Amino acid sequence: MTIPTYDLHDGHKIPALGFGTAGIRGREGAAIIADAIGAGYRLIDSAFNYDNEGIVGQAIRDGGVDRSELFITSKLPGRYHEAPLARYAVEESLLRMGLDYVDLYLIHWPNPSKDLYVQAWEGLLEAQRDGLIRSVGVSNFKPHHLARIESATGVLPVVNQVELHPFYPQAPLLEHHAQAGIIAEAWSPLGKGTGVLEEAAVTAAAQAHGVSPAQVLLRWHLQRGALPIPKSGNPQRLRQNLAVFDFELSANEVDAITALGREDGRRFDGDPDYHEEY
């Protein structure tokens, strides 16, 4: 099975769906990630702060797929924003994963109260110039954070990974990103713990297409131009989440799911203007 790709504005391509690894740890976790690679995932999404880059590296070695076929992402922790720490974090990530480059490295959160994310961005751009990172991006950035790094460096991220699911569909942000040529990656694409998989708009579409509610949500992301990175520790479900390229939701089905959005639909109080992670 081949996963379609999106074009990044720096000339690289990214798989349109990836495997999330937050919370997947230990040798058992390495086996799950290697199984995901064997099942067909090519984009593996990790982070320095997931404390699992070591097992991601192990899974890459065990997965039976050439490294050049894989698209590996990690993320810069808040405590490493300041120069030259950002560079050290990238080097540490590479050593933990046993790689000589990473496909995509993101600033994990802007942490605006520290006001160091422009330095972090400059550090990632330097690591990119030196060949440690292929593509540079951000996570949990709002348009005003994006404008700030663009005005400081002239470079916009290729990707912004944000909370995105039917209870928090972020239509204005998706529109902004489409205009700017930024791919929106969805974290918590299945709305973990929110009950969205049981919503009638989702279950009705699932029944109509003979697929699961989770597959409907993944399709909803793809048809909105977003890039979902579902996590599953279960061999059947991780395979099911890949089987979303042979059916299509109608525009009405997409709209009915988007209409589940709520002003306060975030999974927790993760407003990037206030929520900070280090």
Q: Footprint of ligand A2P on this chain (CB under 6 A)?
A: 20, 188-192, 212, 214, 230-234, 237, 240-241
Give the integer Cα–Cα distance in Å for 32 and 211: 23
Query: What are φ and ψ of residue 106, in 5° steps?
Result: -115, 150
> Among residues 135 and 188, whose Cβ is nearest to ligand A2P?
188
- Number of Cβ within 10 Å of residue 61's Cβ equals 12
CB of 61 to ligand A2P, least distance (A): 23
Closest CB 187 distance from ligand A2P, rounded Å: 7
State in angstroms the smallest separation of the CB of 235 from ligand A2P: 9
Rounded to a whole number of angstroms, the minimum distance from the CB of residue 124 to ligand A2P is: 25
Distance CA 249, CA 64 (A): 34
Q: Is 278 marked active-site?
A: no
Report the nearest approach of ligand A2P to the CB of residue 190 (Å).
3
Decide whether 143 or 233 has the Cβ nearer to ligand A2P. Answer: 233
Q: Which is nearer to ligand A2P, 80 or 220 (CB)?
A: 220
- For ligand A2P, the closer of residues 58 and 215 by Cβ is 215
| For ligand A2P, the closer CB: 45 or 120 | 45
Q: Rounded to whole angstroms, what are the CA distances from 227 to 34, 211, 259? A: 21, 19, 19
Catalytic residue among 6, 50, 80, 117: 50
Q: Which is nearer to ligand A2P, 103 or 163 (CB)?
A: 163
CA distance 156 to 47: 20
Q: Which residues are catalytic?
A: 50
